[in-house]
């Protein structure tokens, strides 16, 4: 789960990470009032779950109330297109109004769970304000790394090593160690999967501030953080993905026209791949999971059919614990209940497959059966082609 910059900064502030004074604003009036309270100059920042806002005009420095009002008016409701939003962009529904600061240096600080070492890695670089992937590709030697031992946590010497490596002064090093230690504590205690301070700035008075902050949480850890779950912003998420999440289905919208329903994430990805290999394009990733019930299958059906781009549905199930007869029952009931208006291709294999096939055959529904994955993908591509 991702959160907005202003939420990330509020969380960081609670852990003692230095962030600029500021407040989230949902209206023009609130933005002007906040700007007046903070004093000028200040910064009006569009809040969307995507980077590249500055280049897209989503961050504006304002010098008086009039400019603050104009900036807020321009940004609220505007569709911001950045290199991370895709061409459709994201609508700005909230702003962060912050006190501006005088910057002398822009640095980078990030933390991620590193899969290879199985530990949290802290990364720091003198190349602030640039995407770290870009720095890693061009000048990997400029990225300093420390790995946190989970038994002891982030150690002060690691902070010093990074801070001196960044060329900070003696006074700044102490501040940086405190900053990093607080960030590491926030990361571990909040079950983060990613925390990025980019840029981390050195101000004219020698202070360190998180000028921007991006935090992502491990979805698997959210059960122990009810207060963090509240930070979810549904307007930043695909409505079909949200509907799927309600039914404990894993769904991701894609650009094609063949709706897929599969059990298991690996098989679901492989099904998308084989559709492409057969000359078609999948409309989604959808894993109904191992414990699919009639109700879940029906919900999955409704989600697939709510996508107007879907011209055919391909169900690919390898029955293990989820038996084919149960799946077939679910498909038949769901198809009858939802009203199936487009071709449905079903490929089933595994536990009780013959019973499952008999249920489909006896249903009087117009179901195209497939003998294996490739056959199913070809039939789905052909069926979708006839309808578009």
Q: Which residues are catalytic?
A: 108, 196
106: three-class secondary structure by DSSP: strand
Check: CB of residue 359 under 8 Å from CB of residue 329. yes
Among 65, 91, 136, 342, binds other proteins (CB under 8 A): 136
**Pick from 329, 328, 12: nearest CA to 187:** 12
With beta carbons less than 8 A apart as the criterion, state whether 313 and 288 touch.
no
Buried b (16+ CB within 10 A) or exposed e, 98-109: bbbbeeebbbbb
Query: By CB under 8 A, is residue 330 in contact with other proteins?
Result: no
The residue (of 23 and 349) whose beta carbon lies closer to other proteins is 349
Per CB under 8 A, 319 contacts other proteins = yes
Q: How far is the CB of 1 from other proteins (least distance, A)?
A: 10
- The burial of 370, by beta-carbon neighbours within 10 Å (0-12 exposed, 13-18 middle, 19 or more buried), is given as buried
Q: Determine the Cα–Cα distance for residues 311 and 194; give it in Å rounded to an integer.
A: 38
At 101, list the tokens: 């600061």
Three-class DSSP category at 171: helix
CB-wise, 32 or 124, nearer to other proteins? 124
Neighbouring residues of 246: CB distance < 8 A, sequence distance ≥ 6: 299
Helices (H) and strands (E) in the chain, counts: 13, 18
Q: Tell which one of 272, 304, 331, 335 touches other proteins (CB under 8 A).
A: 272
Work out whether 266 is an interface residue with other proteins (CB under 8 A): yes
- Cα-to-chain-centroid distance, residue 28: 28
Given 142, 276, 302, 357, the residue binding other proteins (CB under 8 A)? 276
Q: How far is the CB of 61 from other proteins (least distance, A)?
A: 29
Give yes or no for residue 265 binding other proteins (CB under 8 A): yes
Q: Which is nearer to other proteins, 168 or 288 (CB)?
A: 288
Nearest to 21 by CA among 209, 291, 193: 209
Q: Binding pattern to other proteins, positions 223-242, x when CB under 8 A?
A: xx------------------
Total of chain residues touching other proteins, rule CB under 8 A: 55
Q: Which of 119, 138, 229, 336 binds other proteins (CB under 8 A)?
A: 119
The only residue of 65, 269, 309, 365 in contact with other proteins, by rule CB under 8 A: 269
Q: Which residues contribute to the site for other proteins (CB under 8 A)?
A: 113, 115-116, 118-120, 132-133, 136, 149-151, 188, 191, 193, 218-221, 223-224, 250, 252, 254, 262-277, 281-282, 285, 287, 290, 318-321, 349-351, 372-374
């Amino acid at each position: 789960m991702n959160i907005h910059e202003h939420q990330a900064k509020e969380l960081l502030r609670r852990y003692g990470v230095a962030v600029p004074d500021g407040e989230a604003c949902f209206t023009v009036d609130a933005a002007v009032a906040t700007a007046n309270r903070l004093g000028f100059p200040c910064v009006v920042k569009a809040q969307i779950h995507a980077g590249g806002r500055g280049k897209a005009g989503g961050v504006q420095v304002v010098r008086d109330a009039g400019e603050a009002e104009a900036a807020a008016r321009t940004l609220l409701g505007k569709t911001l297109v950045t290199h991370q939003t895709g061409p459709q962009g994201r609508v700005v529904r909230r702003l962060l109004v912050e006190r501006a600061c005088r910057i002398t240096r822009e640095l980078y600080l990030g933390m991620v769970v590193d899969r290879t070492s199985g530990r949290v890695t802290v990364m720091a670089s003198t190349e602030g304000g640039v995407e770290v992937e870009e720095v890693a590709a061009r000048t990997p030697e400029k990225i300093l790394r420390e790995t946190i031992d989970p038994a002891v946590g982030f150690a002060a010497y690691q902070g010093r090593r990074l801070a001196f490596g960044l060329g900070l002064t003696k006074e700044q090093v102490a501040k940086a160690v405190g900053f990093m230690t607080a960030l590491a504590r926030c990361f571990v205690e909040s079950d983060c999967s990613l925390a990025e301070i980019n840029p981390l700035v050195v101000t004219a008075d020698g202070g360190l501030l998180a000028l921007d902050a991006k935090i992502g949480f491990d979805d698997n850890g959210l059960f122990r953080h009810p207060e963090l779950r509240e930070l979810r912003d549904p307007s930043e998420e695909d409505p079909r993905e949200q509907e799927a999440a309600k039914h404990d289905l894993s769904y991701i919208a894609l650009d094609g026209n063949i709706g897929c329903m599969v059990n298991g994430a690996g098989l679901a990805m492989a099904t998308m791949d084989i559709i492409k290999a057969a000359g078609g394009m999948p409309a989604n990733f959808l894993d109904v999971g191992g414990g699919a019930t009639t109700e879940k299958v029906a919900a999955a059906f409704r989600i697939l059919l709510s996508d107007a781009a879907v011209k055919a549905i391909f169900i690919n199930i390898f029955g293990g614990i989820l038996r084919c007869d149960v799946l077939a029952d679910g498909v038949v009931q769901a198809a009858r209940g939802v009203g199936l208006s487009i071709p449905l291709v079903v490929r089933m294999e595994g536990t009780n497959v013959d019973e499952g096939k008999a249920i489909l055959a006896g249903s009087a529904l117009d179901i195209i059966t497939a003998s294996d994955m490739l056959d199913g993908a070809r039939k789905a591509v052909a069926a979708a082609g006839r309808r578009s």
